[in-house]
Amino acid sequence: MKINSIKFLTLSILAVTTFVSCNNDDTVTAEEQTDFSGTYVQKDQMARPAINTVFIASGAPKDAFNTTTPSAMGANYQSVFQSRLLALNPGYTTNALGQTAAAFTSLLATDVLGVSKTGTTTFFDGTNVLTGRALADDVIDVELLLIFGGPTGGSNPNLTSDHVNANDKPFLPAFPYLAAAW
């Protein structure tokens, strides 16, 4: 039995080898052999960090926001965002970018991430604003500052930074940039 099995295995390997050999000039790709058919429908959408979770109520409203295309978000959600902003910070006047509640929430309600193709890419680095999102960007402090910090950034000082300023693992200097899993 054992010898027969080995013989059969050998024959199988020979058969496979021969088969492969006969297809040396075959250029069929895995993509073409694999089934990618069908229609895929949107379930989740995200660009800027924490925006949807801060400004959209959980449950059905969140599902609705997640399945809205960004071009339709401004018209549908700016007023919702403004109400939430003023509930979070009833004393809101303008933020450190000089934005009124209407201007700030108009920016936020369309959930896309602006990304520069010509220079520094950062959520905010003291100079550049919303030119991307790098791994080390302290995005939460930026958002807390804009929501709670008032025109100078000096209001509500106990709410404008969570004092967690960096990731728990260093990032890599090369692709894939994210640190290995714990």
Among candidate residues 68, 63, 60, 54, the one with its CA nearest the CA of residue 110: 68
Per-residue binding letters, 23-62, with other proteins (x by CB under 8 A): ------xxxx-xxxxxxxxxxxxxx-xx-xxx--xxxx-x
Nearest-approach distance from CB 179 to other proteins, in angstroms: 4
Of 5 and 37, which has the nearer Cβ to other proteins?
Answer: 37
Q: Are 45 and 111 in contact (CB under 8 A)?
A: yes
Of 25 and 32, which has the nearer Cβ to other proteins?
Answer: 32
Of 4 and 36, which has the nearer Cβ to other proteins?
Answer: 36
Q: Which one of residues 69, 98, 126, 127 is an interface residue with other proteins (CB under 8 A)? A: 69
Using CB atoms within 10 Å of the CB of residue 140, give its burial: 0 to 12 exposed, 13 to 18 middle, 19+ buried.
Answer: middle
Using CB atoms within 10 Å of the CB of residue 55, give its burial: 0 to 12 exposed, 13 to 18 middle, 19+ buried.
Answer: buried
If one asks whether residue 126 binds other proteins (CB under 8 A), the answer comes out as no
